[in-house]
Structure 1
């Protein structure tokens, strides 16, 4: 009789690593087919899986500049790289101050002067951009500060030929001299100044003209904290004939700049973000011109105190179909009535417009025969009890209605007998 083997429960059991039987190509296909939420946990199984999972990461936000040389071996297929958070020296151990402004959060060293940019020096930035240019020729989007030298920018543009989207912070007229190095650039976001973070010489008409001549293939452009006037804006409209979307944020433009928008013949979307004014002196109506194909006009976190400038904006965009007002101070009934002569409006969104009343809203939307979508959110002076029968009839034929002017809204119950929700594609959407 053969003697039976006795297993010692205290001895370790060796489990074979079955992934060793699979090639890197097969493992990459398996990892790429797995949910993104499991990718991190999968990378913890072994060093091999950790290395392979890095091949599937295409977007990186760098937090520490000293880690930049490690990126090529760890994440060789990066196509979207944000270097801005790492562009500032880390604070001392005794400093725990974090400055946040306009979606930008940076650590502040002890004793730093408020409003002074304390970013890395040019030499360190040039070395970092050289690593990026050599390691990631397939880069499509890059976010950097405008502190690199001319040679570093030219080298980056030459070795990353398919770069299509660029975020450039702390830029000035001189930093745009080599913007033409990015020959395939289609989306550009320029941030000249951010209050409390950096406020250098900024961008004027000179920089806007350089930009217009160097980036003629732009489709989307955002100008943040830029100066300039009619000359700079009209240069962009004339040279960048493919421009479809323009965003103006926290601008410092001179009076009369808005007339330059009429040179943007293919502009479809116009956005204003955080602007303290639209145009201090837009000039006479006959000199404003128009943007005949603008479809979307969005104003967010803007101060609307000047009726004349708001009227000029809607004269330029008189064919607009989609209007958004969000967190805009000063949007009273009188100011909102300016939009009534835009007869092609199909989409209207009002979010947190605290001074607009039910009467002011009704007087405008009832004159729009093409309105299909209406959203009224957190507008406390718009009351259910003041909604007229004509407004109720309009609600019943809209394709989409988001109605929540305040926490006490009971409109859905009061419209129970109107047939809303029983007319094919027409429905009421509760938010």
Structure 2
């Protein structure tokens, strides 16, 4: 066997061999749609009990053959998909987990808009988890998802291209429990008045990873929509400074906070928010260089002492974790203190 070669670009990784090179399309990137469709038809006929499928570059007709034969299909990951292609996905009525990858900059470009999201919503009403990566859309598309997919519990946006004002549609996802943003250059620059935003009352978790959080209007609006959350995670988010982080004081029911790689948040900024969270039980602070041991106030130290879990390593020079050992701080309810 020859050495395996992979072509990787952010969200996509493809195995490249002699067959791939022989059947590549004119751009030298992906197999022609006709070949993929034929393969899907053969796969569907031979594997009617298929539960999970990953496809790159299929057409509506190829996906329809899967929907017609694989009635128990539950999980689908579709790359290089457009609005028309989603007609095939919408025919998978028992689908529960779906990831759509529309645009991957520098690799391929396809468009998922409100039209495709509405088609999807009307067909896949049993969705529990949905990830939209590189997809466009607006208020109308997300509203359709919320109204039709009433079992939806987890929604992820990766590198989204949503139009201004889309955030207000999240409140239509009435049973949403987890909301994630990954590698998003924006949240919503023009979210509109607070009275139109609504709130996701069932939401428990808000995770933001590698996102641009410099826009105050968008971040403030997102936090207001998600004010019911109990778990809040920020990981390697650019622009998250004290002014932006202070909008998090709306999370009065928060029990868990994790800050990792957020170098602009200071000790004062952290304290100004979490001291008002009376239900906080777990705190993680890792690789946040402007949060200092020497700036921890008595009030913050008191909070540390009643937490069930504390992971404190804001920088490589932090000594607080070791100095707390044996003091009982961070151990309410048992052995929960952890040194990173």
Q: Is this a same-fold pair by TM over 0.5?
A: yes
Could you tell me how far apart the structure 1 residues matched to 2:91 and 2:11 are? 28
CA-atom RMSD in angstroms:
2.4
Residue 13 of structure 2 corresponds to residue 104 of structure 1: yes
Partner of 2:214: 305
- Greater displacement, 237-246 / 101-110: 101-110
Deviation at 1:130, TM superposition (A): 2.2
SS at match of 1:178: helix
SS at match of 1:246: strand
Partner of 1:288: 197
Deviation at 1:157, TM superposition (A): 1.4
Could you tell me how far apart the structure 1 residues matched to 2:8 and 2:151 are? 37
Residue 96 of structure 2 corresponds to residue 186 of structure 1: yes
* Residue number among 263, 282, 292 corresponding to 1:373 in the alignment: 282
Q: Which runs of 4+ in 1 moved over 6 A?
A: none
* Residue number among 50, 54, 58 corresponding to 1:143 in the alignment: 54
Could you tell me how far apart the structure 1 residues matched to 2:136 and 2:105 are? 14
- Conservation of the 8 A alpha-carbon contact between 1:208 and 1:235: yes
Partner of 1:314: 223
Residue 100 of structure 2 corresponds to residue 175 of structure 1: no
- Conservation of the 8 A alpha-carbon contact between 2:179 and 2:205: yes
Distance 1:159 1:334, change over 3 A: same
Using structure 1 for the length normalisation, give the TM-score.
0.73
Deviation at 1:427, TM superposition (A): 2.5
Residue by residue over 1:261-292, the C-alpha shift from the partner in whole angstroms, topping out at 9 and shown as x without a partner, is 11111111110111000002000001111111
Partner of 2:108: 198
Residue 1 of structure 2 corresponds to residue 124 of structure 1: no
Question: Number of matched residues?
Answer: 335
Residue 261 of structure 2 corresponds to residue 357 of structure 1: no
* Residue number among 329, 334, 340 corresponding to 1:425 in the alignment: 334
Gaps of 5+ in 2: none
Could you tell me how far apart the structure 2 residues matched to 1:157 and 1:124 are? 18
Deviation at 1:103, TM superposition (A): 4.7
SS at match of 1:189: strand
Deviation at 1:251, TM superposition (A): 0.7
Q: Give the alignment of 1:26-425 within 5 angstroms.
A: 98-105=7-14, 107=16, 118-150=29-61, 152-200=62-110, 202-416=111-325, 418-420=327-329, 423-425=332-334
Gaps of 5+ in 1: 1-63, 65-90
Deviation at 1:305, TM superposition (A): 0.9
Partner of 1:82: none
Deviation at 1:246, TM superposition (A): 0.5
Deviation at 1:138, TM superposition (A): 2.0
Deviation at 1:118, TM superposition (A): 2.4
Distance 1:413 1:176, change over 3 A: closer
Could you tell me how far apart the structure 2 residues matched to 1:147 and 1:154 are? 10
- Conservation of the 8 A alpha-carbon contact between 2:56 and 2:78: yes
Could you tell me how far apart the structure 2 residues matched to 1:314 and 1:327 are? 18
Deviation at 1:165, TM superposition (A): 0.5
Bigger relative contact order (CA 8 A; separation at least 6): 2
